[in-house]
Amino acid sequence: MRVLMQRCLPFAKRQSAVRSWLPASSNAQIFSHRNFAAAAGDAPAPRKGIKIGFFSAHNYEISSMKTLAKKAGIAKDNELIFFTNRLTQHTTQLAEDCEAVVIFVNDIANAEALRKLHARGTRALFLRCAGFDMVDLSVAKELGIPVVRVPAYSPYAVAEHAAALMMTLNRKTHRAFNRTREQNFRLTGLLGFDVNGKTVGIVGTGKIGALFARICRGFGCKVLAYDVAENPEALSYGVEYVSLEEMWKQADIVSLHCPLFPSTKHVINAESISKMKDGVMIINTSRGALIDTEALVEGIKTNKISAAGLDVFEGEQGYFYSDRSGEIIANDLLARLFTFPNVIITGHQAFFTEEALDNIARTTIDNIAAYISKAPLENEVKI
């Protein structure tokens, strides 16, 4: 499967990693489910009797993983173990003797965690997501642990969620919903604007960014984009590529759709916000650390930023995907964001559709099946 990574900012020097992200062209195959059954007599003997440990496992995905593993023939001779715990350097003992470990976006596979896993017998790491910023790839390479991901599952889901955040913030439907349930039908404070004719700036035009551009064009928006490489699919939707400086000046709405690298961390910061139009709206459905949250809070306080829709947050680990109702939020920035009526935070749910869950499960099981049968790991992250 020919894939290109979503790209943004000056990180052309990192193009070896860039090539392994989401499909960038409209004719790129989004999903690849191969039958890894080896031809009899000419393939190495498959691995048998291994333990496969799933961290951050939720009820909504466990049953499908088990069913697909059974269909793939890997459940018969191997053991699938599901942990509700996140993977951190403090929970690796759960994966004792697990040759394969499967993790999700808020697990932490840093150097310490990887070394502990390796000492406990882990020899392969599988990601139930596209991003791999939570993995110390250099240490994984040093230990000989392949890192295998799900390169794409439903780019439509994330692009549509970004649009939902944009429209909800604009028309304030979340506030209207709460009011009308209390029989308050006044319109004061619910004024929005026509999205038609507005300028939307998109940072990162991989598959998700290109689809969001298509949605915005459907609303009648002018769409500007920044990426280190132009996407023909995005161009076909009428997207105009510009510099970041030019985007900050023109965009009424800025939406982030790029991966997190050291070079893209805090692309939205105090300096970039100062160059944006007064009253800009910011949407982030990619990675929390793309935004300097302190600068975001300051921009909201001064009305430089009119609204923010965040499906991700820097420091979300330990909060998102868990029920914290009734507890005190210790993260001051997260607590501060909750006080703003013009901020919407969703718990990293942009991917969360039936289609996406099915594709994540299928590709994950395919990846594991490839490892067990000693077939090529097509979705391995190349370091």
Residue range 22-49, pLDDT digits in tens:
333 333 222 233 333 333 345 567 777 8
In a shared domain, residues 291 and 322? yes
- Predicted confidence (pLDDT) per residue in 50-96, tens digit: 999 999 999 999 999 999 999 999 999 999 999 999 999 999 999 99
One-letter identity of residue 280: V
The CATH number of residue 338's host domain is 3.40.50.720
Confirm whether 16 is domain-assigned: no
Rounded to an integer, the average pLDDT of 7-13 is: 37
- Point out the catalytic residue in the list 14, 149, 257, 287: 287
In a shared domain, residues 83 and 183? no
Rounded to an integer, the average pLDDT of 115-139 is: 97
Sheet containing strand 253-256, edge to edge, reads 240-241, 222-226, 199-203, 253-256, 280-284, 305-310, 343-345
Q: Is 348 a catalytic residue?
A: yes
Q: How far is CA 100 from the centre of its chain?
A: 22
Confirm whether 19 is domain-assigned: no
- Point out the catalytic residue in the list 316, 354, 355, 378: 316
Structure confidence at residue 186 (pLDDT): 97
| Close Cβ partners of 218 (under 8 Å, ≥ 6 residues apart) | none
In a shared domain, residues 298 and 325? yes
Confirm whether 20 is domain-assigned: no
Instruction: Output the average pLDDT for the chain.
Output: 90
In a shared domain, residues 165 and 291? yes
Q: Is 316 a catalytic residue?
A: yes
Percent of the chain with pLDDT over 90: 86
- Point out the catalytic residue in the list 86, 161, 257, 348: 348
Which residue range(s) make up the domain with 97?
Answer: 31-153+354-372
Confirm whether 22 is domain-assigned: no
In a shared domain, residues 273 and 312? yes
Structure confidence at residue 43 (pLDDT): 58
The total number of structural domains in the chain stands at 2
The model's pTM: 0.84
Confirm whether 233 is domain-assigned: yes
Confirm whether 381 is domain-assigned: no
In a shared domain, residues 193 and 255? yes
- Predicted confidence (pLDDT) per residue in 131-189, tens digit: 999 999 999 999 999 999 999 899 999 999 999 999 999 999 999 999 999 999 999 99
- Predicted confidence (pLDDT) per residue in 323-338, tens digit: 999 999 999 999 999 9
Confirm whether 116 is domain-assigned: yes
Structure confidence at residue 42 (pLDDT): 54
Structure confidence at residue 219 (pLDDT): 99
In a shared domain, residues 122 and 220? no
Q: CA Rg, the chain, in Å?
A: 22
Structure confidence at residue 124 (pLDDT): 98
